[in-house]
Amino acid sequence: MAVVDVSHIVKSFADKVVVDDLSFSVAQGEIFGLIGPNGAGKTTTIRMMMDVIKPDSGELTILGEKLSEATKNSLGYMPEERGLYKKLSVLESIVYLASLKGMDKHLAREKADEMLNHTGMLDSKRKKIEELSKGMAQIIQLIVTIIHNPQLVILDEPFSGLDPVNTELLKGMLADLRNQGKAVILSTHQMNQVEELCDRILMINNGQAVLYGDLSEIKSRYRGNSVLLDCIGELGDIPGVTTKRTHKGYIELILDGKTTPQQVLAHLVSCGLVINRFEVATPSLNEIFLKEVGKKHE
Amino acid sequence: MNKTLLIFRHEFLHMIKRKGFIIMTLIVPVLALLAIGVFQLISKTVEPPVIETTTIGYVDESGGFDQYTTQGDIELVHFDTPHEAMVALINGDVSEYFVIPSDYISTGVINRYTLEKEVETSPIIATVIKNFLTSNLLSGKVPPETIYRIEAPLDLVVTRLTETGEVATEQGGYGNVIIPGIFSLLLALSLMLSSIYMIQGLGDEKESRLVEVLLSSVSSRQLLVGKVLGLGAAGLVQVVIWLASAPLLLRLASASFGGFISAIQIPANFIILGIVYFVLGYLLFAALSVGIGAISPNAREGQQLSMIYTLFIYVPLWFSSLLFIFPNSPIWVVLTIFPVTAPVAAMLRLGVSDIAAWELAVSIAVLVLSIIGILFLAIRAFRIYLLMYGKRPNWGDIIQNLKSG
C-alpha cells in the first residue's frame, strides 16, 4: 500500500492555477524528493497532503484513507525554518507538540531525553527555543517531527541554514527513518542532497509534473552519448568517437551514436592503455533540473 | 486526552504565566493592601491635624445680627463699617467679609467681598452665612432646637422593602456601586489585554508557520476552540481571585478607614452574574480576536483592526455618570443586550439598579449565540486566510469568501 497516493489534484488561488493535475505516490521505506523552482507548487502540494488546504479537485489519500485525526497522528511535518514556540523551552515544545500527535506526555518526555541525548542536545533541554542557534532549532524541529514515530515524514527545506556537522546529523537521521520503513518526503532546492538521499523524485514546474520516477532511472534516461576518460598513453583515433574534448584531469569522448561505451572501452584496452578512470557521462540532477525548467521557459 | 483539551490546557497555562496577566490579576488586591497598609502606617505616625479656624468679617447695617457668631470652625467677626472690614481683609485679619444691607429684610441681598477669584461661593461659606442669618432672625422667637431643625430639616433615611414588605437584604446606595464599578473597569482592561494577547499569539503562530505544524496535528476547529476556551478559563481565574479577595480586603479596609468604606457591599447577585459576564466577555473577545487574527497577515495589523471592537468595551464606562441619573433609560437596555458592550454594561448596572430578568436572559443568550456564531465564522476565515502571509484581503473578499466557504 502506498503511504501517499495523490491523483489528479488541482488547486487554484484567485485565477492562478498553482497545482495542475498532479499525480504521484510515495511508498514505505523510501525517501521521495519533491523538487522544483520557487513557486512551482511544492508547498501547496504539501499543504494539501496535510489537509491545511483542500484541493479544488482530485483525490488524495494518506495511509490508504482521507486525512483524519487518526491519520494526522501518523504524520510528521517540518516546515521550512522556525515553526516552534520561541518562548517555550526545548522540552516543553517537544512534549506539547508530541502530545498533539496523541503521544502520552510521560512517554514523550522519555523519548525526548533519548533523542536529545542522541543528537548531543540534552544539555539544552531547558533552554528556550529563542536561545538556540538556527541549526540547533532545526534539529529540535526534526525531533518534534519524528518523536511520535510517524509513518510519513514531510520535510520542507530541512537543510537550509544548517552547518556541515548538523547537515550530516540530519542525513543520518533521514537514513535511519528510511531503514525503519518510514516514507519520507523531502522538498528542497538542494539537488546534491536529493541525489544523495532520494530513491524517487517528482520534479514540478508551474504546478505540473515534469519528471517523476526512480532517480537512477531518470538519470540514466538523461545519460548523454559520451564517456569520461583518464588514461596514460597515446590515444590516437578511436573508432566510433567523433570528438575529443580535453578537460582538467580527464578527456571527454563524444560517441557517434552507434558505438556503445563498452566497445570504446574494449578498443582502449586492446591498445594497451593504462586506464585510471572510465565513466559513462551522466548529467547531475542539477543539470537535468536546469534543462527541464529551462525547456518550460523557452 | 482530547486534542481541544490539550490546546485549551496549553493556552490557559501560557496565558496565566504571562507577566501582563499576572500583574493585572494581582495588582488589584496588592494595591488595595498597600493602600490599607500605608493608611495604617500614616494614621499611627502622624498626629491628627489641627483644624484652623477661619475668620470671616461682617458688617451689620440692618441691625440685630450679633449672636451665633461661631458656626462650626468658622468665626464671624463684626465690623462697624465696610471700610474697616475691607482694611481687615487687605491686612489678612479676615479671609473675607460680607455686608448685611439695611434693606436686607425686604430684599434678601447680602454683599460678599473676597480677594479670591471664584466661579461661585463655596457651599460651606454659603451655608455658614445662611445659618448665621437664619439663627439671628429666629433668635428669641422660637426655641434653639427649632432653629437647629430649620437649619438642617432633613436627614433622609431610605429603606428598601421587598415585595412582601420585609426589609430588603440589598439596600442600594453608593456603597453598592463601588465594587461593580471597579469590576467593570477591570473587566474592560482585562478584555483589552486578552484581545491583544490572542491576536499577538495567533499572529506569531502564523508568521512562524507554527500554525501549519499545529494543523498537521489538529483541525482548525480544535485549535481555535481550544484557544478561546483557554482564554475564557484564564478570565475565570482572574475574576475568582478578585472576587475571593474582595470581602477580605473590604473587611481590612473597613477596619482601617471606617466611614464610607464600611458601607461598601458586594451586591448578592453580583457574584454569580459578575462571573458569568466576565467569562462570557472573555470568550466573546477571544472569539472576535481569533477572527481578526485569522484575516490579519500579522499581529501588528491585527491589533490595529481590533480597535474596531475593543473601543466598544469602554462605551458603557463613558456614559456611566448618566447611569446614576437615568438608570432605566432604554439606552442601557440596548447596551446590556448588544454583545460587545454587554459584559461591562451589565456589570455596571448590577450595582446601580436591578436588571429585569428578561433583559438578563436576552443579554446572556445574545452573548452566547454571538460567541458561537463569531467562532464559527472565525474558524472559516482562519482556514481561508491561514496561508496569507504579509497580505491582507479586502473586506469584500472576506465577506464573499465567508459566504462561499
Residue B51 has pLDDT above 80, yes or no: no
* Nine cell digits for residue B173: 446606595
Q: What does pLDDT average to over chain A?
A: 87
Instruction: Tell me, yes or no, whether B111 and B179 share the same domain.
Output: no
DSSP A130: G
Mutant choice from A100, A107, A155, A187 vs B, greatest count of B C-beta within 10 A: A100
Domain boundary among B118, B151, B184: B151
Q: Is residue B38 in some structural domain?
A: no
**B209 neighbourhood in chain A, CB within 8 Å:** 79-83
Contact B213 A77 (CB under 8 A): yes
Query: Structural domain boundaries of chain A?
Result: 4-220, 224-281
Instruction: Tell me, yes or no, whether B285 and B399 share the same domain.
Output: yes
Yes or no: say if B1 and A103 are a contact pair by the CB < 8 Å rule: no
**B10 neighbourhood in chain A, CB within 8 Å:** 96
**pLDDT level of residue B80 (50, 70, 90 thresholds):** very high
- Residues contacting B353, CB < 8 A, separation 6+: B172, B327, B328
Q: Percentage of chain B with pLDDT > 70?
A: 86
- Tens-digit pLDDT profile for residues A183-200: 999 998 888 888 888 999
Pick from A72-81, A224-233, B68-77, B349-358: least confident = B349-358
pLDDT at residue A94 in the model = 94
- Number of compact structural domains in chain B: 2
Touching A: B residues 327-386, CB under 8 Å: 383, 386
pLDDT at residue B264 in the model = 62
Mutant choice from B207, B217, B221 vs A, greatest count of A C-beta within 10 A: B217
Domain boundary among B84, B117, B151: B151
Distances (CA, A) of A37 to A59, A187, B250: 24, 11, 69
Q: Rounded to an integer, what is the distance from CA A289 to the centroid of its chain?
A: 13
Mean pLDDT within B103-124: 90
Please state, in angstroms and rounded to a whole number, the distance separating the CA atoms of residues A178 and A196.
13
Yes or no: say if A18 and A204 are a contact pair by the CB < 8 Å rule: no
Contact A85 B218 (CB under 8 A): no
User: What is the number of other CB atoms lying within 10 angstroms of the CB of residue B327?
Assistant: 13
- Nearest Cα residue in chain A from B201: A85
Mutant choice from A4, A12, A44, A52 vs B, greatest count of B C-beta within 10 A: A52
Q: Between A2 and B97, whose confidence is greater? A: B97
Residue B377, min C-alpha distance to chain A (Å): 17
Supply the CATH number for residue B101's domain. 3.40.190.10
Residue A145, min C-alpha distance to chain B (Å): 9
**B6 inside 8 A of chain A by CB:** yes
**A47 neighbourhood in chain B, CB within 8 Å:** 212, 387
Residue B103 has pLDDT above 80, yes or no: yes
> In this complex, how many residue pairs, one in chain A and one in chain B, have their CB atoms less than 8 Å apart?
62
Tell me the residue range of the domain where B275 lies.
Answer: 170-404
Length of chain B: 405
**A53 neighbourhood in chain B, CB within 8 Å:** 383, 386-387
Contact A79 B1 (CB under 8 A): no
Tracing cell 491519520 back to the chain, one arrives at A71
Instruction: Tell me, yes or no, whether B367 and B221 share the same domain.
Output: yes
Yes or no: say if B178 and B351 are a contact pair by the CB < 8 Å rule: yes
Yes or no: say if B197 and B20 are a contact pair by the CB < 8 Å rule: yes
**B389 neighbourhood in chain A, CB within 8 Å:** none
Residue of A75, A100, A102 with shortest CB distance to B214: A100
* Nine cell digits for residue A268: 582502449
Pick from A14-18, A54-58, B274-278: least confident = A14-18
Q: Is residue B44 in some structural domain?
A: no
Pick from A64-78, A100-114, A157-171, A284-298: least confident = A284-298
Residue A95, min C-alpha distance to chain B (Å): 11
Instruction: Tell me, yes or no, whether B146 and B238 share the same domain.
Output: no
- Nearest Cα residue in chain A from B18: A87
Contact B1 A96 (CB under 8 A): no
pLDDT at residue B389 in the model = 47
Contact B208 A84 (CB under 8 A): yes
Residue of A53, A69, A83 with shortest CB distance to B209: A83
Q: Where are the beta strands (DSSP E) in chain A?
A: 4-13, 16-26, 31-35, 57-62, 75-78, 152-156, 183-188, 200-205, 208-214, 226-232, 241-247, 250-255, 274-280
pLDDT at residue B171 in the model = 65
**pLDDT level of residue B327 (50, 70, 90 thresholds):** confident
Tracing cell 482562519 back to the chain, one arrives at B382
Q: Between B243 and A96, whose confidence is greater? A: A96
Contact A47 B387 (CB under 8 A): yes
Q: Is residue B157 in some structural domain?
A: no
Q: Between A281 and B11, whose confidence is greater? A: B11
**Rounded (10°) angle between helices B220-257 and B174-207:** 150
Instruction: Tell me, yes or no, whether B124 and B270 share the same domain.
Output: no
Nearest to A38 by CA among A149, A143, A156, A145: A156
- Nearest Cα residue in chain B from A93: B10
- Tens-digit pLDDT profile for residues B124-166: 899 999 999 999 999 888 898 898 888 888 888 878 787 888 8
pLDDT at residue B57 in the model = 95
- Nearest Cα residue in chain A from B385: A53
* Nine cell digits for residue B203: 499572529
- Tens-digit pLDDT profile for residues B171-194: 666 666 777 788 888 888 888 888
Yes or no: say if A285 and A220 are a contact pair by the CB < 8 Å rule: no
Length of chain A: 298
pLDDT at residue B7 in the model = 93
Q: Is residue B22 in some structural domain?
A: no
Q: What does pLDDT average to over chain B?
A: 83
Please state, in angstroms and rounded to a whole number, the distance separating the CA atoms of residues A268 and A236.
10
Instruction: Tell me, yes or no, whether B69 and B174 share the same domain.
Output: no
pLDDT at residue A126 in the model = 92
- Tens-digit pLDDT profile for residues A135-172: 888 889 889 999 999 999 999 888 887 888 888 888 88
- Nearest Cα residue in chain A from B9: A96
Q: Is residue B9 in some structural domain?
A: no
pLDDT at residue B265 in the model = 62
**A82 neighbourhood in chain B, CB within 8 Å:** 208-210
Instruction: Tell me, yes or no, whether B122 and B182 share the same domain.
Output: no
Instruction: Tell me, yes or no, whether B82 and B191 share the same domain.
Output: no
Instruction: Tell me, yes or no, whether B177 and B62 share the same domain.
Output: no
* Statement: A224-281 belongs to CATH 3.30.70: yes
- Tens-digit pLDDT profile for residues A120-133: 889 988 999 889 88
Question: What pairing do the DSSP bridges indicate for beta strands B96-100 and B54-60?
Answer: parallel
Residue A44, min C-alpha distance to chain B (Å): 10
Residue of A52, A78, A84 with shortest CB distance to B215: A52
Domain boundary among B91, B124, B151: B151
- Tens-digit pLDDT profile for residues B220-256: 889 989 988 888 888 888 888 887 887 777 777 766 6
Please state, in angstroms and rounded to a whole number, the distance separating the CA atoms of residues A285 and B254.
83
**pLDDT level of residue B83 (50, 70, 90 thresholds):** very high
**pLDDT level of residue A107 (50, 70, 90 thresholds):** very high
Instruction: Tell me, yes or no, whether B203 and B145 share the same domain.
Output: no
Instruction: Tell me, yes or no, whether B135 and B186 share the same domain.
Output: no
pLDDT at residue A135 in the model = 82
Residue A64 has pLDDT above 90, yes or no: no
Residue A287 has pLDDT above 60, yes or no: yes
**B216 inside 8 A of chain A by CB:** yes
Nearest to B364 by CA among B286, B235, B276: B276
Q: Percentage of chain A with pLDDT > 70?
A: 98
Pick from A203-212, A233-242, B26-35: least confident = B26-35
Helices (DSSP H) in B258-329: which residue ranges? 268-295, 299-318, 320-325
Yes or no: say if B377 and B291 are a contact pair by the CB < 8 Å rule: yes
Please state, in angstroms and rounded to a whole number, the distance separating the CA atoms of residues B225 and B290.
9
- Nearest Cα residue in chain B from A83: B210
Yes or no: say if B13 and B233 are a contact pair by the CB < 8 Å rule: no
Contact B213 A144 (CB under 8 A): yes
Instruction: Tell me, yes or no, whether B99 and B196 share the same domain.
Output: no
Residue A297, min C-alpha distance to chain B (Å): 28
**pLDDT level of residue A110 (50, 70, 90 thresholds):** very high
Residue A241 pairs in a beta bridge with: A255
Residue of A83, A100, A144 with shortest CB distance to B208: A83
pLDDT at residue B368 in the model = 95
**B204 inside 8 A of chain A by CB:** yes
**B300 inside 8 A of chain A by CB:** no
Yes or no: say if B322 and B329 are a contact pair by the CB < 8 Å rule: yes
Q: Which CATH class is domain A4-220?
A: alpha beta
**B400 inside 8 A of chain A by CB:** no
Contact A79 B204 (CB under 8 A): no
pLDDT at residue B370 in the model = 95
Yes or no: say if A154 and A2 are a contact pair by the CB < 8 Å rule: no
Distances (CA, A) of A128 to B16, B101, B397: 18, 84, 39
Q: DSSP string of B95-134?
A: SEEEEE-TTHHHH---EEEESS--SS--HHHHHHHHHHHH
User: What is the number of other CB atoms lying within 10 angstroms of the CB of residue A26?
Assistant: 23
- Nearest Cα residue in chain A from B208: A83
Yes or no: say if A269 and A253 are a contact pair by the CB < 8 Å rule: no
